[in-house]
Amino acid sequence: MITVDRLTVSYGSFTAVDDVSFVAQPGRVTGFLGPNGAGKSTTMRVMVGLTPPTSGQVTIGGLRYHDIPNPGRHVGSLLDASAQHAGRTGREILTIGAQTMGLPKSRVDEMLALVGLTDAEAKRRLRNYSLGMKQRLGIAHALLGDPSVLILDEPANGLDPAGIRWMRGLLKGYADRGGTVLLSSHLLHEVEQIADEMILIGHGRIVAQGDKKSLLAHGDGAATTLVTSLDNAALGAALTGGGHAVEPLGEGLKVQATPEEVGRAALAAGVVLTDLRSGGAGLEDLFLELTSATAREAVPGVTPTPTGGIPA
């Protein structure tokens, strides 16, 4: 369990992390979302003791990182896959890690196999690695000590789609076995697929947190539904009659009502539905909306488009 308690990190007058508190629970994947420069990496660096906090603290399993004996055995972290000696081979990097943690050498081979780095690739020097290979090596390094807590900063960075799917399965399985997983991303669809809990951060402040459902419920209130039926005109009339605003959208209708209300109206009117889904601001819109005030670019003219997340 990772507990962040009123964490603040300031550099002079600039506050990178501003009074952030949250808990990452065991058995769950916690997604840490925010635009570039929102304070995600700084928060994660404080967790593993690389950056001193200005105030507040982070504990992992009740201990400050500094006080955890042989921390690599309890907390696996991947903060920057490139931060390794470029002249060492992948195998050497893992071997040094294993020796530092007092692990048997066989663990290195296990991890190389787990992340799918071949023997030939493991003998190459890091400077000749692609970003995706570095990322796999970094994940292998994080898992080396068989930790119960994983802290991963942008782990999907540079992975191909198959690699992202692989990692998703890996982390999900890890959390299902009782591990605590915290991963950061600036890409929502990367996180919403696996995260049980999401923490949205912008400008160093937490702007929202909760699971997907509760985050959406916190969205801008009025639910909208996208519906297509065999008789849109009749359905539209029934809904308008029921006091809901209706407007045509593409082949169907956009209704200011919950899917349930639309479904009942269709049932009552005897109209066959061919498509019914929540068209409320998707998580992506919520994410942009919540962080736009703090994002690097203002997001001009971002109107809620019913993407509902990009399937990956």
Residues near other proteins (CB under 8 A) are: 45, 48-52, 65-66, 68, 71-72, 77, 79-80, 82-87, 97, 100-101, 141
By DSSP bridging, strand 14-24 and strand 29-33 are unpaired
Q: How near is the Cβ of 57 to other proteins at its closest, in Å?
A: 14
Report the distance separating Cα 182 and Cα 92, nearest Å: 27
- Please name the residue ranges forming H helices in 155-282: 161-176, 188-192, 212-217, 232-241, 259-269
By DSSP bridging, strand 197-202 and strand 205-210 are antiparallel
Q: How near is the Cβ of 68 to other proteins at its closest, in Å?
A: 8
- At 243, which helix (H) or strand (E)? none
By DSSP bridging, strand 246-249 and strand 252-255 are antiparallel
Q: Which is nearer to other proteins, 126 or 262 (CB)?
A: 126
Q: How near is the Cβ of 158 to other proteins at its closest, in Å?
A: 17
Using alpha carbons, list the distances in angstroms from residue 61 to 6, 25, 280: 17, 10, 38
Q: How near is the Cβ of 169 to other proteins at its closest, in Å?
A: 25
| CA-based radius of gyration for the chain | 23
Q: Which is nearer to other proteins, 141 or 186 (CB)?
A: 141
Q: Which is nearer to other proteins, 101 or 273 (CB)?
A: 101
Q: Which is nearer to other proteins, 51 or 232 (CB)?
A: 51
Q: How near is the Cβ of 77 to other proteins at its closest, in Å?
A: 6
User: The tokens of 121 are what?
Assistant: 């690739």
Q: Which is nearer to other proteins, 92 or 289 (CB)?
A: 92
Report the distance separating Cα 152 and Cα 183, nearest Å: 5
